[in-house]
């Protein structure tokens, strides 16, 4: 393809913008079906308790109640683990998380559900359900959870590790280990060693739209589910497995999504809504309250990370070691593996050891949050790297440049970097005015951090149908959570040689389009984009054959460029895409191109952030003066969307760094389950964030793009911690870095 693009790299309005700004876009709570009932879920008030008795008879007798379900209505789940969405999940645990069976394992754990004519009747019915609990000791601290005397969440769970399966049950679900070179020898060669421990809190994705689902189990046996999700097929597969029901009889229709960031990969009550619908014979809608979202959906892991890094006097890293303890919540499956992979990935380190621990605590099961597992790991690593650079008397960026990973660098976890742009983002930062301009004034500091995310490819499907008026319909399997209808339509338009307004993208349901993985892992524009390109190329090949028939020439003589079919030997044999489309019904009928793809190569993303702060020495308040996010994006399909992704990710990382965190008491009760108490940054808390696009084209995509959505959340805590140190002289080792914590580190409190 020509490097001179007509659509790629432009900044058109998003195709979904008019519907959203005028209120015409349909979200899950906008779906109203005839005879629809309202569902509510009874949730545990205890963080850990045995269910001794569960009686729903009074609720069932309440006028207006049409259905009541408990775990007894679910088939016995298979004890198997399979990939679902971004990660693997055990269906037995998923079933128990859907409706608790013998024990509740966190405050908010679903116990029973009702469907009634009105929401207030459903709420009254919940009060009539009698549950006798036997409270058990709860454990919410990650290190206390793995102590020998800790109360067990699952008495049959044993630690899996390289040594096999442990003899004694434990809250430690898994221990992972990776070793490169000889760490002991590497530390012996070091002239300077920094060793520190870091702790981060559980944080939530913070999407504005709560989870919502409408399910109808029809008399024909078809289960239709309207839901806000990042992956319609992931919902279908989960429902099919938990209900032991044929996939072909389940149709999942994804609605518009009001924010997700990884938090809507998981199906929480689609199965419950379906069960209530089957019992009632009517559609059922369930919508979470904000407290339910915070208490009963999957946030990120709280962590404890111990880091040791050594370097020589000339600024060369010799060894690195880290222990990463990640909360999994009530069931196994924390992103500790991602944390291990990300932690030292920006660097070429000859010797290292990583130990990762997947730890169960009495909190909701962890879900993905934009580069899951990466942000705490980067915070710990970059704080130590900054301290090393200072002890060696080196500029922070020069130290990183001396040790940065390149193509072919082998990471400590055994993976090897492909085509990457780590060096390029560091060099761009060195030249940027934000870094070259001195920061003046008391109590001010500048910090930098480099972050990494590996991205993802996997399975995508789409179809393109050609219309007689020269427009095309693009049917996508990927849910649009970040404007991807536009970036995907742009790729189709570029290949087809059409203006963007001639391509009409639609997100299909599970009965309309081929299997497509979740919109996560920064994969959608990258992987589904390749499926779109394949579908567009299939359309062109079919239309070349039609043109060849019209001109009575071999198809090999028909060329196509920028929306025009032509032959090289006859100027009269030229026809635009639209003119040929108008003749399809007279030359063989409809043309449809199908694109199916399992992308096995994807480009990792590196981002380097620069933060200037001012810290009030009396209050500990942090004021961000300037913030710049530099990232290698491959090629920017839609630069405005790419900049928006970088800015949005940076804002979430800043929130993680300075304000956000779950607070629990010793009994596992969440103390801040509302947006009044769970602090997230607003526009008043932030400066303008400058996004700088480094475009090192990725060779395994036709247009050279990389996934961009997750990398920008990774560096902010590290950059801000290093800036706060330079403003205060106190090193930061915990998130969030609240004013109170900063004053404690400054020895003021």
The CATH number of 303-455+603-745 is: 3.30.365.10
Q: What is the pLDDT of residues 274-285, one digit of tens each?
A: 999 999 999 999
Phi, psi for residue 205 in degrees, rounded to 5: -65, -30
Give the domain ranges of the chain: 17-24+457-599, 31-136+207-260+264-296, 303-455+603-745
- Our measurement of the distance from residue 417's CA atom to the centroid of its chain's CA atoms, rounded to an integer in Å, reads 22
Q: Is the pLDDT of residue 661 over 80?
A: yes
Q: What is the pLDDT of residues 484-515, one digit of tens each?
A: 999 999 999 999 999 999 999 999 999 999 99
SS3 at position 512: coil
**DSSP letter, residue 703:** T
Q: What is the pLDDT of residues 552-610, one digit of tens each?
A: 999 999 999 999 999 987 778 899 999 999 999 888 899 999 999 999 999 999 999 99
Q: Is the pLDDT of residue 243 over 60?
A: yes
Helices vs strands, H then E, count in the chain: 20, 31
**DSSP letter, residue 684:** G
DSSP 124-175: HHHHH-EEEEEE------HHHHTSTTSPPS-TT-EEEETTEEEEEE-SEEEE
Phi, psi for residue 130 in degrees, rounded to 5: -100, 120
Phi, psi for residue 55 in degrees, rounded to 5: -125, 120
When mean pLDDT is compared across 8-12, 83-87, 96-100, 598-602, the lowest value belongs to 83-87
Q: What is the pLDDT of residues 122-179, one digit of tens each?
A: 999 999 999 999 999 999 999 999 999 999 999 999 999 999 999 999 999 999 999 9
What architecture is domain 17-24+457-599? 2-Layer Sandwich (3.30)
Mean pLDDT for 668-683 is: 95
pLDDT of residue 88: 81
Specify the pairing of strand 503-507 against strand 472-476.
Answer: parallel
Q: Tell me which CATH homologous superfamily contains domain 31-136+207-260+264-296.
A: Aldehyde oxidase/xanthine dehydrogenase, a/b hammerhead (3.90.1170.50)
Q: Is the pLDDT of residue 248 over 70?
A: yes
Q: What share of the chain in percent tops pLDDT 90?
A: 96
Q: Which residues contact 163 (CB under 8 A, 6 or more apart)?
A: none
SS3 at position 31: coil
Mean pLDDT for 311-334 is: 98
In this structure, what token pair is assigned to residue 482? 């970040």
Phi, psi for residue 159 in degrees, rounded to 5: -70, 130
**DSSP letter, residue 722:** H
pLDDT of residue 2: 41
Provide the mean pLDDT of the chain.
96
Q: Is the pLDDT of residue 527 over 50?
A: yes
Sign of CA dihedral 677, 748, 305, 325: negative
Q: What is the pLDDT of residues 599-640, one digit of tens each?
A: 999 999 999 999 999 999 999 999 999 999 999 999 999 999
Contact present, 611 and 626 (Cβ < 8 Å):
yes
Phi, psi for residue 628 in degrees, rounded to 5: -130, 130
Contact present, 340 and 356 (Cβ < 8 Å):
yes
Q: Check for a shared fold between 17-24+457-599 and 303-455+603-745.
A: yes
Contact present, 28 and 227 (Cβ < 8 Å):
yes
70-85 CB burial, b ≥16 within 10 A, e <16? bbebbeebeeeeeebb
pLDDT of residue 389: 98
464 to 468, 525, 533: CA distances (angstroms):
13, 16, 10
pLDDT of residue 1: 36
d(CA 370, CA 607): 14
pLDDT of residue 3: 62
Mean pLDDT for 227-244 is: 97
């Amino acid at each position: 393809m020509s490097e001179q693009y007509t659509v790629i790299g432009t900044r058109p309005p998003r195709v979904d913008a008019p519907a959203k700004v005028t209120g015409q876009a349909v979200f899950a709570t906008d779906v109203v079906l005839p005879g629809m009932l309202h569902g509510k879920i009874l949730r545990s008030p205890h963080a850990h308790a045995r269910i001794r008795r569960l009686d729903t008879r009074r609720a069932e007798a309440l006028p207006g109640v049409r259905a009541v379900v408990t775990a007894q209505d679910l088939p016995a789940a298979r004890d198997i683990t399979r990939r679902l969405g971004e990660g693997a999940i055990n269906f037995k645990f998923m079933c128990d998380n859907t409706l608790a069976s013998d024990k509740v394992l966190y405050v908010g754990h679903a116990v029973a559900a009702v469907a009634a004519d009105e929401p207030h009747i459903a709420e009254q019915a919940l009060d009539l359900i009698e549950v006798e609990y036997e409270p058990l000791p709860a454990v919410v601290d990650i290190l206390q959870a793995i102590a020998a005397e800790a109360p067990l969440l699952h008495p049959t769970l044993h630690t899996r590790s390289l040594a096999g399966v442990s003899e004694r049950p434990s809250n430690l679900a898994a221990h992972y280990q990776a070793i490169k070179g000889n760490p002991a020898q590497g530390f012996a060669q070091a002239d300077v060693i920094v060793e520190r421990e870091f702790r981060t809190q559980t944080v939530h994705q913070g999407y504005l739209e709560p989870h919502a689902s409408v399910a109808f189990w029809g008399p024909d046996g078809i289960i239709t589910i309207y839901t806000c999700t990042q992956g319609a097929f992931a919902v279908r597969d989960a429902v099919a497995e938990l209900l032991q029901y044929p996939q072909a009889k389940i149709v999942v229709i994804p609605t518009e999504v009001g924010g997700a960031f990884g938090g809507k990969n998981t199906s929480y009550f689609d199965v419950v809504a379906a069960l209530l619908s089957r019992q009632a014979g009517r559609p059922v809608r369930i919508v979470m309250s904000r407290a339910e979202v915070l208490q009963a959906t999957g946030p990120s892991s709280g962590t404890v990370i111990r880091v040791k890094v050594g370097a020589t006097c000339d600024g060369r890293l010799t060894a690195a070691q880290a222990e990463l303890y990640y909360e999994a919540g009530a069931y196994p499956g924390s992103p500790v593996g991602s944390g291990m992979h990300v932690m030292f990935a920006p660097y070429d380190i000859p010797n290292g050891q990583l130990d990762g621990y997947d730890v169960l605590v009495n909190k909701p099961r962890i879900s993905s949050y934009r580069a899951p597992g990466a942000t705490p790991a980067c915070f710990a690593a970059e704080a130590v790297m900054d301290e090393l650079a200072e002890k060696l008397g080196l500029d922070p960026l020069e130290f990183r440049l001396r040790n940065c990973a390149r193509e072919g660098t082998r990471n400590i976890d055994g993976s090897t970097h492909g085509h990457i742009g780590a060096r390029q983002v560091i060099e761009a930062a060195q030249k940027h005015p934000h870094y070259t301009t001195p920061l003046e004034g008391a109590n001010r500091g500048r910090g930098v951090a480099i972050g990494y995310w590996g991205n993802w490819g996997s399975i995508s499907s789409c179809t393109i149908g050609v219309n007689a008026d020269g427009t095309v319909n693009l049917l996508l399997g990927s849910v649009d959570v970040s404007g991807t209808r536009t970036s995907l339509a742009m790729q189709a338009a570029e290949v087809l040689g059409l203006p963007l307004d001639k391509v009409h993208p639609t997100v299909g349901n599970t009965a309309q389009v081929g299997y497509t993985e979740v919109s996560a892992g920064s994969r959608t524009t990258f992987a589904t984009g390749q499926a779109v390109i394949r579908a567009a190329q299939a359309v062109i090949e079919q239309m070349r054959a039609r043109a060849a028939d019209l001109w009575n020439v071999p198809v090999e003589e028909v060329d196509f460029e920028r929306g025009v079919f032509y032959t090289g030997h006859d100027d009269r044999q030229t026809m635009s895409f639209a003119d040929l489309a108008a003749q399809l019904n007279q030359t063989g009928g409809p043309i449809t191109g199908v694109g199916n793809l399992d992308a096995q190569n994807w480009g990792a993303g590196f981002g380097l952030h620069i933060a200037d702060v001012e810290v009030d020495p009396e209050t500990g308040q942090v004021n961000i003066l300037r913030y710049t996010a530099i990232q290698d994006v491959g090629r920017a399909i839609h630069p405005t969307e790419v900049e928006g992704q970088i800015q949005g990710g940076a804002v979430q990382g800043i929130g993680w760094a300075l304000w956000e965190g779950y607070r629990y008491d010793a009994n596992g009760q969440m103390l801040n389950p509302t947006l009044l108490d769970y602090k997230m940054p607003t526009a008043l808390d932030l400066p303008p964030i400058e996004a700088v696009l480094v475009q090192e084209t990725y060779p395994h995509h036709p247009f050279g793009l990389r996934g961009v959505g997750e990398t920008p959340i990774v560096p902010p805590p590290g950059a801000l911690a290093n800036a706060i140190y330079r403003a205060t002289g106190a090193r930061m080792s915990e998130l969030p870095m609240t004013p109170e914590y900063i004053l404690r580190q400054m020895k003021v409190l």
